[in-house]
Structure 1
Amino acid sequence: MAKSTKPQIDRSRYDALIEKQAALLKRQDEIKAEVGHGRVSNVTTIDAGGNIVSMRREEDLAAEAGRHRTWTSEAPRPKPAPVKRHEGAMSLLGDLLPPQPEHETNPPPLPPEWPRQELHRQLSKESEDISEALKLIGPEIEKARGEFSKAAAQERLPEYSQLITDAIDALKAAGDAILRCHQFVDQARLDGLERRYLKPLMFTELGDISEPHSPLRSIIHRAIELKHVVGGVPTWKMPASPALIYSGV
């Protein structure tokens, strides 16, 4: 068996793209699992005596978001405007007024409308970012794969062509041997032998090897067309039709 030749080609960008795609797909699946599919279930706790201890409603994040969804719920809530003191009043009071507290000059953001709203918003944005990234990386992977494959195939082609040459040589030798088998059985026919006593192998799966589109000739022809081998297709000439050679068998 011929020794495999590993292409000495830089495929670092191709590998980096594949690795990044795999990481994005993994994270996408994690987000889907965390958000859920809008499932709501009622969980009942029963004690040893068969009495209901508690009942609670459980819903995944997608179901919770759907329950609270309004036309404004998905948009980020605006930050409250700073409190501005009346300029005229401030000029009248001067230093008697203390400095404005932090919560007036830099008010904190409004709280979410429901407990896990911010988490849902973050995961939704991350999911959208990943989807768009996957759209962009797909063509780059195909391009990198094509460039790598072309270069790698160019390196491996001589070795592969030699393997094909060996196989075609073997097919040609097989065709020659099969033809001799047909000739032997046909001579027995001409000599008047009852050929069933020879227990002939008819090679019917290979058809009539003299026909242009027989399996053996077709394979050899394709190998020549693909320029793996040079030369022509053997012209095997059957001594008679297979039906006549093996009639009565």
Structure 2
Amino acid sequence: MNEGACSVAGPTTAERGERQQESSGPPLARGLRRLRRLRLRTIVILAVLVALLAAGSLWILYGSEWTRVERVSVSGTRVLTPAQVRAAAEVPVGAPLISVDTDAVAARLRRELPRIDTVEVVRSWPHGIGLNVVERTAVLVEEKAGKFVEVDAEGVRFATVSQAPKDVPVLQLSLSRTASSAASLRRFDEGRLVREAVGVAGRIPRAVARQTRTVKVRTYDDISLELSGGRIVVWGSGEQGVQKARALTALMKAAPGARHFDVSVPTAPASSGS
């Protein structure tokens, strides 16, 4: 056998062409060609790393046991219990934390528990969901069939309870059926009158609010308060509430033994029955 047959194979034609291309031309051109190849390799490597990182992140978020819902915490409840809130929320325990639809959970809570005014649903990594609840506060209650419907500051009837909450006045809608009152009722429906009563309840001075037993509505401009001891306050409409509250405070100080107070015209308040 000839010795030439045992020699190592030389570079291929393509490799020789590349080397010749690299070694040909001015030095600046050769350097730019090498830099382009280096950049291409770097881009490919980075793309592979990014793809691996993304795949790993997706697996951690959706496939692993490291980020699954294990607990649901509740805060802010007053009348509702945490157990009631958790049951209504229906958070899927054991599901990937990232997959929980927090907006849907919040909407479900407001739908199932009207006592909830606002709720914030937050992810607490790696295993928790937090439900931060704000309950509605009753400013009035309506008595119906021996029970009491709670009404909040926006006029929303949100709960029916067997006993009226302490220090919350009872709303009485004693709507007049006269011709003029009927015309007023067509203009200001029952919902509007409830909102007016709510506005009045919110304007009552704090010291008087603790003594207020009933807010009575006959028409839009005929709202009155019944205080403890049978005292009456003629409030009128819900307009000029701040001025009426100030006038009532001054009037009750000036005539503490009076039984009847009229602040329907706050610039000319009156009292009687002392």
Q: Which has the higher contact order (CA 8 A, sep 6+)?
A: 1
TM-score, scaled relative to structure 1: 0.29
More helix by share: 1
- Which structure is larger by alpha-carbon Rg, 1 or 2? 1
**TM-score where L is the length of structure 2:** 0.26
